[in-house]
Amino acid sequence: MKSKSRLKPAPVVRPNGGLLSDTIASSSAFYYLDHEGVRLRVMLARPDTKDPRGSIIFCPGRTEFIEKYLETVEDFLARGFFVLILDPRGQGLSDRLLPDRLKSFVHQFQDYADDLAFVTESFADDLPKPYIVMGHSMGGCIALMSVISGVMNPSAVVCSAPMLGLFDVNTKPAELFVRFFNILGFSKRNLPFQKQDGGLPVSFKGNKLTSDPDRFARWASYFKSTPELRVAGPTFRWISESLKAMTYVNRNANRLKIPGLIIAAGADPIVDPASNASFARAASIDYHVVPGALHEVLMEKDVYRDQFFSAFDDFLKKQGL
């Protein structure tokens, strides 16, 4: 592990004092490390095999945190992969960027991509190759940006409903509104009319993320029990920078020179599946849609989640990974 002196133990969050699964407890360790003045929390998990298949570098979506993906980490470990996952800057237990911890803010999306590359390099001695960079939603956009911008050079990239086109924002009037108020000095103010009041989750009935009540309740329990994890709606700056990032990634799709797979959620009310299909065509990578799934396929019912992993496994076999 490179730069071990910069690593410090980090906590793991368990709602209401619950226990980690035996797999996660025996395989994983949590760390803090600093990148250009921002403290990032990461988790490294090792599979129980002497012949690992490689390493998955995973970036979560907006408001998300490491523990939300522990079930998915177990799925990757069972397939023989090391897993490195981080709390993106400004969320989880990584440093928040504004005095108001609830505000979703970033200076530029390339910061996220640079963080992903930095933590990967920091753990390079412990991460066997080949590397597969993955991300969900915002994290999918970041994963693609990290490869297209050249800060990451993995063997493949896989994205779940990557944020490449948003239903509520990717209209010309909305873009002009956001950019106008960002230029006027409202960059650190939250967008109006957001439902994530105080960073608490909406009710299951009104959620756009998953149709699985048990996985929704498990995710919501973290925010309800641990205020430090909460993130409210996006600021004008975050939305403005996300628009720039989506434009950059979409315009440079042909610069993605490695194998890739995009898995879209067929009933996604947040990210437009058409934007995922369009990018996949432009980048000449694989595309799969899970019909009926809401935005977070990895948090969905098994009938949808199993389709994700079927497409994932087929892609890895096709690529010899």
186-212 pLDDT, tens per residue?
Answer: 556 665 555 556 888 889 998 999 999
Q: How far apart (Å, rounded) are the C-alpha atoms in residues 41 and 293?
A: 30
Query: Is the pLDDT reported for residue 296 higher than 80?
Result: yes
What's the domain range around 90? 4-319
120-174 pLDDT, tens per residue?
Answer: 999 999 999 999 999 999 999 999 999 999 999 999 999 999 999 998 776 666 6
Question: pLDDT category, 35, cuts 50, 70, 90?
Answer: very high
When pLDDT is averaged across residues 6-19 and rounded to a whole number, the result is 92
Percentage of the chain modeled with pLDDT above 70 = 89
Q: How far apart (Å, rounded) are the C-alpha atoms in residues 13 and 54?
A: 27
Question: CATH number for the domain including 258?
Answer: 3.40.50.1820
**227 near 123, Cβ under 8 Å?**
no
Q: How far apart (Å, rounded) are the C-alpha atoms in residues 303 and 287?
A: 19
Per-residue model confidence (pLDDT) at position 209: 97
Per-residue model confidence (pLDDT) at position 183: 67
67-85 pLDDT, tens per residue?
Answer: 999 999 999 999 999 999 9
When pLDDT is averaged across residues 173-191 and rounded to a whole number, the result is 61
Percentage of the chain modeled with pLDDT above 90 = 83
When pLDDT is averaged across residues 27-41 and rounded to a whole number, the result is 97
Domain count, the chain: 1
Q: Which ranges constitute the DSSP H helices of the chain?
A: 22-27, 70-78, 109-122, 138-148, 172-181, 213-225, 236-251, 273-283, 302-319
When pLDDT is averaged across residues 86-106 and rounded to a whole number, the result is 96
When pLDDT is averaged across residues 38-46 and rounded to a whole number, the result is 98
Question: pLDDT category, 176, cuts 50, 70, 90?
Answer: low
212-260 pLDDT, tens per residue?
Answer: 999 999 999 999 999 999 999 889 899 889 999 999 999 999 999 999 9
**What's the pTM?**
0.94
